[in-house]
């Protein structure tokens, strides 16, 4: 663990930096800066052990800031299994919200493992735009100065303007690739970036960039128009929820791509699971792993009710062949 050199201490708040080895520590696997409040961070566990996220936090360095306070950070929650991801989404769930309180789109809500930062004045860590540095660190929001950085998105202390771009010096020329885009970590990246004062942040060096929202197209490839005459936009975050990485893992439970469906999702707590004739048992847990429902299955579809607080729940389906399929359901 290396402390900042004295001149760096003057530049950036005094956090610490571990020496990372490949596939040994959590890192940011996807960054979503979508239209309106559609903002998400996916964190990947490349190790062969489950990791408790309560020991980690996300810190936002806004508009070139070189320091951060507890109001710029938020403690994470939940457990990440080996080879799995944690998707954190900005907590804006009021369907009637407008402006700064506009709701997250349903298609992004259903991707969430946890929601963060409902009140900007309490914590603004998840209110990042395409020009903010985002840090994943070990430690407590009450003691940021003694936290240990394990990954950095962007460059602390640099304000690129609207966004970092596709061409050197990545702060003006080229296309804006970190605003209204999803940044997906390349499969060849095996650990986080821990250098806070890299000479420049090339967003496409370690990430692939895709538009965060796309126009809905009809069967002829033409935009589908809404009642206002404007194209209907869809979220482009199908990649959220899993991450391909060259880290080699041991015994990992993976999500299936079968025809199993949960509908409606999000729901009010009553939802159906379809196409489950090959499912032997159903178990539903909250984000902390507490089982809230468990039953044997003998049907092709079933309707379930969760009388629990709003949030994200995991639906684990054990197939007759022993395979385990994990789905997420959002209760709102």
Helix (H) or strand (E) run with residue 75 in it: strand 73-75
The tens digit of pLDDT for each residue in 262-316 reads 989 888 999 999 999 989 999 998 766 678 999 999 999 999 999 888 887 888 8
70: left (phi over 0), alpha (psi -120 to 50) or beta: alpha
Local confidence band at 319 (pLDDT 50, 70, 90 cut-offs): confident
Q: In this structure, are residues 213 and 35 in contact, taking their beta carbons and an 8 Å threshold? A: yes
The Cα 52–Cα 79 span in angstroms is: 5
Which residue, among 252, 251, 255, has the nearest Cα to 239 in the 3D structure? 255
Helix (H) or strand (E) run with residue 283 in it: strand 279-286
- Give, as one character, the DSSP assignment of residue 178: S
Helix (H) or strand (E) run with residue 203 in it: helix 203-206
Among 32-41, 139-148, 188-197, 256-265, which is the least confidently predicted range? 256-265
Please report the pLDDT score of residue 216 as a whole number.
84
- In DSSP terms, 80 is beta-bridged to 51
The tens digit of pLDDT for each residue in 190-217 reads 999 998 878 899 999 999 998 888 888 8
The tens digit of pLDDT for each residue in 51-96 reads 999 999 999 999 999 999 999 999 999 999 999 999 999 999 999 9
Task: Enumerate domains of the chain plus CATH numbers.
Answer: 6-235 (no CATH), 261-331 (2.60.40.1930)
Residue 254: partners with Cβ closer than 8 Å, 6 or more residues away: 83, 242
| Residue 9 CB coordination number (10 Å) | 11
* pLDDT greater than 50 at residue 255: no
The Cα 23–Cα 253 span in angstroms is: 18
Burial grade of 23 (CB within 10 A; 0-12, 13-18, 19 or more): middle
Helix (H) or strand (E) run with residue 108 in it: helix 106-109
- 56: phi then psi, degrees, rounded to nearest 5: -125, 160
Q: In this structure, are residues 206 and 147 in contact, taking their beta carbons and an 8 Å threshold? A: no
Cα-to-chain-centroid distance, residue 324? 23
Return mean pLDDT, the chain: 87
């Amino acid at each position: 663990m290396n402390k900042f050199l004295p001149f760096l201490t003057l530049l950036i708040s005094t956090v610490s930096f571990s020496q990372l080895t490949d596939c040994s520590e959590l890192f940011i696997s996807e960054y979503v800066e979508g239209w309106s409040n559609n903002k998400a961070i996916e964190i990947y566990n490349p190790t062969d052990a489950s990791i408790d996220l309560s020991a980690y936090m996300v810190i936002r360095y806004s508009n070139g800031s070189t320091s951060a306070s507890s109001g710029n950070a938020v403690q994470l929650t939940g457990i990440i299994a080996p080879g799995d991801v944690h998707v954190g989404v900005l907590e804006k769930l009021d369907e009637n919200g407008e402006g700064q309180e506009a709701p997250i789109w349903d298609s992004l809500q259903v991707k969430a493992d946890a929601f963060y930062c409902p009140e900007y004045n309490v914590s603004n860590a998840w209110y990042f735009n395409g020009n903010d540095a985002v840090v994943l660190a070990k430690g407590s929001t009450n003691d940021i100065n003694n936290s240990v950085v394990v990954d950095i998105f962007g460059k602390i202390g640099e304000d690129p303007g609207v966004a970092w771009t596709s061409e050197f010096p990545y702060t003006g020329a080229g296309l804006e690739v970190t605003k209204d885009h999803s940044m997906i970590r390349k499969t060849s990246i095996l650990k986080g970036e821990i250098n806070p004062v890299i000479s420049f942040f090339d967003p496409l060096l370690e990430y692939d960039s895709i538009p965060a929202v796309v126009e809905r197209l009809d069967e002829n490839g033409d935009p589908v128009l809404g009642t206002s005459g404007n194209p209907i936009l869809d979220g482009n975050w199908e990649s959220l929820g899993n991450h391909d990485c060259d880290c080699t893992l041991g015994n990992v439970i993976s999500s299936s791509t079968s025809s199993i469906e949960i509908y409606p999702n999000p729901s009010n707590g009553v939802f159906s699971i379809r196409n489950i004739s090959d499912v032997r048992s159903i178990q539903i847990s909250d984000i902390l792993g507490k089982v809230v429902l468990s039953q044997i299955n003998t049907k092709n579809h079933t309707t379930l009710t969760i009388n629990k607080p709003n949030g994200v729940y995991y639906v684990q389906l054990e197939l007759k062949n022993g395979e385990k399929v994990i789905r997420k359901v959002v209760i709102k």
